[in-house]
Structure 1
Amino acid sequence: MATKASRSAARIMMAPAVVLLLGWMLVPLIMTLYFSFKRYLPLRGDSLDRGLDWVGFDNYVRFISSSSFWPSVQTTLVMVGGVLIITVVLGILLAMLLDQPFFGQGVVRILVIAPFFVMPTVSALVWKNMMMDPVNGVLSHLWRFFGAEPVSWLSDVPLGSIVLIVSWQWLPFATLILLTAIQSLDSEQLEAAEMDGAPPLRRFWHIVLPHLSRAITIVILIQTIFLLSIFAEIFVTTGGAFGTRTLTYLIFQRVIDSQNIGLGSAGGVYAIILANIVAIFLMRIVGKNLDK
């Protein structure tokens, strides 16, 4: 049992790391809040030592009153929801498949997990030029093989195309977490249910899926945190056109167009608020599985 002295020593040793972590998190947040109330145009010659114009909530009003604000929020939520559905559903199926013994199982597992280590920019470029190109893309050749007219993916179905690209990147993560959870399932439960005459679908619904609930919760929570800030895939493929402009990309465009760091900082605060609302919703609705 830890003594009072040992606990005090542990706190003292952890204090520098905690202070560094808090500083790393709080300093950018405080600076974002500070600039959001200022008119700061560094590309036009403004400097911090000169002093910045105080504009109050004008940046917030200007950003939220834009006609692109609410569509970008909707696009962000649709994109996150679409990626989550695809990765969770396919992740469960892939995890169950990879859990079965077959020749070359180790190699297949490595190949399935490999896309997670590809940089988002590289992944988007590969999909844009090699897979979704309307003339020489793999999908276009596949369409022609079946006698169909090739699809210009990034202009005809832009949002679905980006969801597909991002899902390809995050599917290995979901598969890895869910495969680990499946491997921890007691095989005796499945064998007993099979001996009792339960069909495969019933065994999956009443035994496998409840066992995966905690892992699914972890996948959803972690992926949502990162998916709310999707940027590289949109920048490389559509440039925010065709209804693919998320809130993160809108902030980028507003800073570039207005050259006003204060306006972009106000958008960043809105992004933080949206992320917290989504996180609270998920913790209340989905996160209850972590307590089971």
Structure 2
Amino acid sequence: MSTRETRAVGRLLVAPSVILLFLWMIVPLALTIYFSLLRYDLLNPGMETFAGLDNYYWFLTDPAFSTALANTLMLVGAVLVITVVGGTLFALLLDQPVFGQKVLRLMVIAPFFVMPTVSALVWKNLLMHPVSGLFAWIANSLGLTPVDWFAEVPLLSVILIVAWQWLPFATLILLTALQSLDEEQKEAAEMDGAGAIPFFFYIVLPHLARPITVVILIETIFLLTVFAEIFVTTGGGPGLQTTNIAFLVYAQALLQYDVGGASAGGIVAVVLANIVAFFLVRIIGKNLEA
């Protein structure tokens, strides 16, 4: 069998999976675009009419959209800062030879495997509850007034919950990168009398540049769609203080029964996510080339 025939057979064998994957992605997207062009109210089924781009106009000019966009960017940015900085520190700590190192690594990584709904419930009822939560008990023990987290600082509360979930991921990636650091570089730095701070900034941090960019890219893609933590803890409130784009689309569809507006919001969210991903991929590509 010639090389050309081999390639043709290979493409033929791969074609069904490629077609299935393509349909898996394109059919929901096409239906969402179709619904976004209709006045589609769940309370009046069968009464759909063509709306053109009206749904997009009303969604983009809704004051809730600008608030949700700002909350989304703040949530993503804050969680990235916490996880990258905290992940680097934890990775440096776990890279040191300490007693019970394997158990310690397992405990640090464990939160990443907890379902978002479960972790949100744990934080809401066991840690941040203003009466019976652990933080309230600590505050009372110190003679301080407990903080009603989800009423006074709701967005910060959500940020802490999401960061707690993603911190193990960043730690695992950066720890793996640290363990690949050349031992000869470490020995040379020690022989030259390099201190801990110069060693970190001139050897460790450049070595972690690529893993950090990968962590930022992967986390950003998932953080743009945070929903369960908000739904379980604050329900998007108080007011719109914790409403992000994903929760706004949910509220439009299942609380206001406006499928057309929610579909338009979903397409807007897809476009925004692709714009962010495009620039992140370009930044990572330049980093890898360097």
Structure 1 CA distance, aligned partners of 2:250 and 2:133? 30
Q: Give yes or no for the alignment of 1:150 onto 2:146.
A: yes
Structure 2 CA distance, aligned partners of 1:204 and 1:158? 35
- 2:63 match: 67
- 1:178 match: 174
Structure 2 CA distance, aligned partners of 1:201 and 1:97? 14
CA apart distance, 1:286? 4.2
Which residue identity is paired with 1:41?
A: D
- 1:266 match: 264
Q: Give yes or no for the alignment of 1:96 onto 2:71.
A: no
Q: Give yes or no for the alignment of 1:210 onto 2:206.
A: yes
Which residue identity is paired with 2:219?
A: Q
Q: Give a deviation string over 1:256-282, Cα, whole Å, max 9, x none.
A: 343121111000011011111211222
- Judge which range, 247-256 or 7-16, deviates more: 7-16
Structure 1 residues not aligned, in runs of 5+: none
Structure 2 CA distance, aligned partners of 1:286 and 1:160? 28
Which residue identity is paired with 1:136?
A: S
Residue aligned with 1:44, SS = coil
Structure 2 CA distance, aligned partners of 1:10 and 1:105? 47
Structure 1 CA distance, aligned partners of 2:268 and 2:28? 15
- 2:27 match: 27
- 1:44 match: 44
Q: Percent identity?
A: 56
Which residue identity is paired with 1:29?
A: L
1:253 aligned residue (251, 254, 267):
251
Q: Give a deviation string over 1:104-135, Cα, whole Å, max 9, x none.
A: 11111111111111111111000000000011
Residue aligned with 2:63, SS = coil
> Does the CA-based 8 Å contact 2:110-2:168 persist in structure 1?
yes
CA apart distance, 1:148? 1.7
> Does the CA-based 8 Å contact 2:109-2:169 persist in structure 1?
yes
Structure 2 residues not aligned, in runs of 5+: none
Which residue identity is paired with 1:27?
A: V
Which residue identity is paired with 1:186?
A: D
The normalised TM-score by structure 1 is 0.94
Q: Give a deviation string over 1:164-199, Cα, whole Å, max 9, x none.
A: 000011111111111111111112101101210111
1:275 aligned residue (270, 273, 276):
273
- Judge which range, 185-194 or 225-234, deviates more: 185-194
> Does the CA-based 8 Å contact 2:79-2:163 persist in structure 1?
yes
Question: How many positions carry a matched residue from both structures?
Answer: 287
CA apart distance, 1:73? 0.2
Residue aligned with 1:101, SS = coil
The normalised TM-score by structure 2 is 0.95
